[in-house]
Amino acid sequence: MRKHWWKALTVIILAYVFVAGLMSPVPKLPILHEAIRNTFFHPPLWIAMMVMLLSSTIYSIRYLRNGKLDDDLMAVEFANTALLFGILGCITGSVWAYFAWGDLWPNDPKTNGVAVGMLLYLAYFVLRGSFDDDMRRARISAVYNIFAFAVFIPLILILPRLTDSLHPGNGGNPGFNQYDADSSIKRIIRPAFIGFTLLGFWITQLRVRLRRLEINLDEVEESTKSAAIPAELQNPTNL
Amino acid sequence: MDQFTTSLTEALRQDGKIWVVIVVIAIVLLGWLYYLLRIGNRVRKVKQRLDL
């Protein structure tokens, strides 16, 4: 149980975020009204996704340094979880954008940057699927993963700040900080960042454990099969 | 269909757009649930292979 304290913490934080996110008082702003509460659920998805992508990149770098296939496994599963959070971020953002800005996908540098970034990571999975050899797949996709992260971060964090953007805190647009005089947003959004990120680690851990089991099972089945074939048939030159 | 979309949009705008928040929460929770079920499905397949 001592090893799993962080899972209990995740549950507690998420319960707090979902209950307080709906019940606590929030700044009264025109156009947004109660929809400002989406701040507690939409941005944390992106923060969690970025942490997952950073972790994935770190494991890709580790793979290139050590050559351990387990690091490649960690990298791909972190990227998988990041993709889940990214897709949910896109859908929730789209719904919120429709009711705040009047368009499901507004022409905004941040949303467009995210779309490009997600396509970059979808290409990562396509690239992985195109190799038969495990070592080649791991090496080339690790290099691609590092490149994708290096492109993704400027696309969603730097470029939107250099041009006009609808997103708060971007392109000269004021953030919510100035309306958050009594810290009613900060009190919930900060734990939400932690809770969503911890959940991402939890999901990734489950996927990694499952994948390791599948790999072990594959190896056992493979060795059972080869043991069942007579030695002469395994090496026809002995015949 | 167009009328349905309009009435749905109007309904979601009621009560200070709190229903938009409910929809967003539902999307997040359903997304996690779907992912969890997929992992559960993979666990079931591993279990079946172990039983064989």
**Average pLDDT of adjacent 10-residue blocks, chain A of 239 residues:** 89 97 88 90 96 98 96 97 96 93 90 94 96 94 97 91 82 71 87 97 96 92 82 62
The shortest C-alpha distance from B6 to chain A (Å) reads 12
Q: Alpha-carbon distance A80 to A142, whole Å?
A: 14
pTM reported for the whole predicted model? 0.90
Are the beta carbons of A18 and B25 separated by less than 8 Å? yes
Q: Are A72 and A141 in contact (CB under 8 A)?
A: yes
| B1-50 pLDDT per residue, tens | 788 888 888 888 888 889 999 999 999 999 999 999 999 999 999 999 88
Distances (CA, A) of B29 to A35, A45, A89, A213, A226: 17, 12, 12, 27, 45
Give the nearest chain B residue to A97 (CA atoms): B20
- For a pLDDT cut of 70, what percent of chain B falls above it? 98
Comparing C-alpha atoms, which of A186, A192, A187, A176 is closest to residue A28? A176
Which residue pairs, CB below 8 angstroms and at least 24 apart, start in A68-76? A69/A134, A69/A135, A69/A138, A70/A212, A72/A137, A72/A138, A72/A141, A72/A142, A73/A208, A73/A211, A73/A212, A73/A215, A74/A204, A74/A208, A75/A141, A75/A142, A75/A145, A76/A128, A76/A141
CB A73 within 8 A of CB A219: no
Can you give the pLDDT at residue B35? 93
A24, A191 contact by CB (below 8 A):
no
Query: What pLDDT does A237 receive?
Result: 62
Token pair for A20:
């307080």
A99: nearest CB among B13, B28, B39: B13
- List the single best residue of B24, B33, B47 to mutate versus A (max A Cβ within 10 A): B24
Outline where A67-108 has alpha helix (H): 69-100
Q: How far is A152 from A179, CA to CA, in rounded Å?
A: 30
Domain ranges of chain A: 33-211
Q: What is the largest CA-CA distance in chain B?
A: 57
Residue A96 has a pLDDT of: 93
Token pair 């905004």 is found at A108
Choosing among A17, A31, A52, A88, which should be mutated to test the B contact, i.e. which has the most B CBs within 10 A?
A88
* Nearest C-alpha in B relative to A33: B16
Quick one: how far is CA A26 from the chain centroid? 28
- How near does any CA of chain B get to the CA of A98, in Å? 9
Q: Cβ B28–A37 below 8 Å, yes or no?
A: no
Close Cβ partners of A239 (under 8 Å, ≥ 6 residues apart): A232
